[in-house]
Amino acid sequence: MTQGVAQPLKIKVPLSREDVQRLKAGDIVHLTGAVLTGRDAAHKRMYDLLEKGEPLPVDLKGQVIYYVGPAPAKPGQVMNSAGPTTSSRMDKYSPRLIEEGLTGMIGKGYRSDAVVEAMKKHGCVYFAAVGGAAALIAKSIKKSEVLVWEDLGTEAVRRMEVENFPAIVIIDTEGNDLYKIGREKYGKPG
Amino acid sequence: MREIQAKLITGAVRQMCIDANTDIGDDILGAFDRAKSTEESPLALNIIGQIEENATIAARDKMPYCQDTGFSCFMVDIGQDVHVTGGGIEDAINEGVRQGYNDGYLRKSILNDPIERKNTGDNTPAHIHVDIVPGDRLHIKFSAKGGGSENMSQLAMLKPSDGLDGVKKFVVKVASEAGPNACPPIIVCVGIGGTFDGAALMAKRGVFREAGKPNPDPFYAKLEQELLARVNDLGFGPQGLGGRTSALAVHVEAAACHIASLPVAVNIQCHAHRHREVTL
């Protein structure tokens, strides 16, 4: 299955500033440690609090946030299917969260120029997990607890303990973008 | 008049919701198998391998293939000689969705209102389209339609002078813009002609079609193959990381249209092409 592809880099999360700078677009990684989760509704709440000058209920310094709304766990199951959602819906809020100390984001799909600028300025990387590989990804999630905003249901902010969570660096702190690099390499003029 | 009990419909819908979401069809697995012989990028092959492994785990452990278990969409052909007893047909379908999404531990993704945005808690209401057809059978098609790919869909009211070239350009443009956002490899579902809403409906019918099954009209079957080659030449590949497998199929439907119009709708489908059908 891994023919011609480098072995994944083992990366600890939360993500140190040193690791953030070391990661390059195209790196295949396995993340181990803990990540936060949040998607549309949680991002809006965090952003609104910050705009009002109020503190966040979770500290984002050095944290990696995974854009996910898991399927409900079955009895006795740690985590049901939990793949990434489209990141661009978080673009409006991400620069503000990166400013608060976020060092990594996991999702899928394009990011806006404003997000990339904030990543370069403050030191943050953007990872993609394989969209639609939700059952496979769930196997790397060893524990999950809701931290805040349980009322948001699947969109609540969780702390997930992960072991060898499979991801790929899409955009690094220099602004290199694997989506552009990959398309240029395999595209043919139409 | 042939009678069909509403609870029979509910039971069939419940089962389709669970099966489609956990067990991806042979059409998609076959398409991935074929893609492996044409894909040039090692990373793309690695991604396809992960997706295939995901399909195996989902079917084995009865887990959703994707956590976005979709908007529950139905295309219903009801024979004019069918009489549904013991409740309304739409209520029966919605009850099936309610039971399927609850019993199958599937994610509930439907909000009550686009502005108020409160989750209804049971993935209803379903999106139901009904056609009345001859006969005494009830045919129900189900699709769990993901939101990420749905968001990358577009519609254009082209000028008749734009012609076939304009149609092709628009389809390729939509696929290109969808890129990594729509969880490629994608299925590009196209409706050409009809009205504004009719074009969108024809495009939507593509998400219920077996992946890669050609349009019965040879002209449109050929167009599907040409568009598929052009979308794959975009090179965004699996998950947008680069590769030769940007799309697994293009599905085209066409219909009569007004002398002033050339509507084209493109409904983007992700590789989680989850569909089932049943005849009662």
Cβ-defined contact of A132 to B108 (cutoff 8 Å) = no
B65·A3 Cβ contact <8 A: no
> What are the structural domain ranges in chain A?
19-158
For residue B48, what is the nearest residue in chain A, using CA coordinates? A1
Q: Which of A92, A140, A147, A100 is nearest to A124 (CA)?
A: A100
Give the per-residue SS3 of B201-238: HHHHHHHHCCCCCCCCCHHHHHHHHHHHHHHHCCCCCH
Bridge partners, B142 (sequence order): B74, B276
Whether the bond into B180 is cis, omega within 30 of 0 = no
Q: Is B38 on the interface with A (CB under 8 A)?
A: no
Chain A CB within 8 Å of residue B53 CB: yes
**Closest to B235 (Cβ–Cβ): which among A73, A128, A187?**
A187
Which tokens sit at B107?
Answer: 């994610």
Q: Which residues pair with B131 in a beta bridge?
A: B77
Q: Is A173 helix (H, G, I), strand (E, B) or coil?
A: coil
Read off the pLDDT band of A161 (50, 70, 90). very high
Domain with residues A19-158, CATH architecture: Alpha-Beta Barrel (3.20)
| pLDDT value of position A190 | 66
Q: Hey, which residues does B158 pair with through a beta bridge?
A: B262
Q: Is A43 a catalytic residue?
A: yes
Give chain A positions within 8 Å (CB) of B53.
Answer: 1, 133, 136
**B138-145 and B247-257 as β-strands: parallel, antiparallel, unpaired?**
unpaired
Q: Do B235 and A69 touch (CB under 8 A)?
A: no
Domain ranges of chain B: 2-20+65-145, 148-278
Alpha carbons B240 and A47: distance in angstroms, whole number: 29
The structure tokens listed for A81 are 């299917």
Please give the DSSP secondary-structure letter assigned to residue A97: H
Q: Where are the beta strands (DSSP E) in A39-156?
A: 64-66, 104-107, 125-128, 141-148
Chain B residues in contact with A132 (beta carbon < 8 A): 51, 54, 65-66, 146, 183, 270-272
Per-residue pLDDT of chain B (280 residues; tens, 9 = 90+): 999 999 999 999 999 999 999 999 999 999 999 999 999 999 999 999 999 999 999 999 999 999 999 999 999 999 999 999 999 999 999 999 999 999 999 999 999 999 999 999 999 999 999 999 999 999 999 999 999 999 999 999 999 999 999 999 999 999 999 999 999 999 999 999 999 999 999 999 999 999 999 999 999 999 999 999 999 999 999 999 999 999 999 999 999 999 999 999 999 999 999 999 999 9
Express each pLDDT in A120-152 by its tens digit: 999 999 999 999 999 999 999 999 999 999 999
**Tokens of residue B115, six digits:** 């502005």
Residue of B45, B60, B61, B63 to mutate, interface with A, max A Cβ within 10 Å:
B63
The tokens describing A132, both together, are 């639609």
Exposure class string for A17-47: b at 16+ Cβ within 10 A, else e: eebbeebebbbbbbbbebbbbbbbbbbbbbb
Q: CB distance from B227 to chain A under 8 Å?
A: no
Q: What are phi and psi of B152, to 5 degrees?
A: -95, 10
Q: In this structure, which CATH number among 3.30.300, 3.40.50, 2.60.420, 3.30.360 belongs to the domain B2-20+65-145? A: 3.30.360
Taking a C-beta distance cutoff of 8 angstroms, is the pair A38, A65 a contact?
Answer: yes
In order, the DSSP letters of B95-121 are HHHHHHHHHTT-----BS-TTT--B-S
- B17-64 per-position pLDDT tens digit: 999 999 999 999 999 999 999 999 999 999 999 999 999 999 999 999
Other beta carbons less than 10 A from residue A3's beta carbon: 8
Q: CA end-to-end span of chain A, whole Å?
A: 31
Using a CB-CB cut-off of 8 Å, the residues of chain B touching A79 are none
Indicate the SS3 state at residue B44.
helix
For residues A2 and B225, the model is more confident at B225
Give the pLDDT score at A6: 84
Question: Rounded to a whole number, what is the distance in Å from the CA of B234 to chain A's nearest CA?
Answer: 5
Query: pLDDT per residue over A31-78, tens digit each?
Result: 999 999 999 999 999 999 999 999 999 999 999 999 999 999 999 999
Handedness of CA A84, A141, A115, A151 (dihedral sign): positive
User: Most distant CA pair in chain B: distance in Å?
Assistant: 58
Partner-chain contact B236 A80, CB within 8 Å: no
Chain B hits for A131, Cβ within 8 Å: 66, 148, 183, 239, 270
Which residues of B fall within a CB distance of 8 Å from A82? 67
Q: Three-state SS for A161?
A: strand
Return the residue of A nearest to B242 by Cα: A182
- Pairing outcome for strands A28-37 and A9-13: parallel
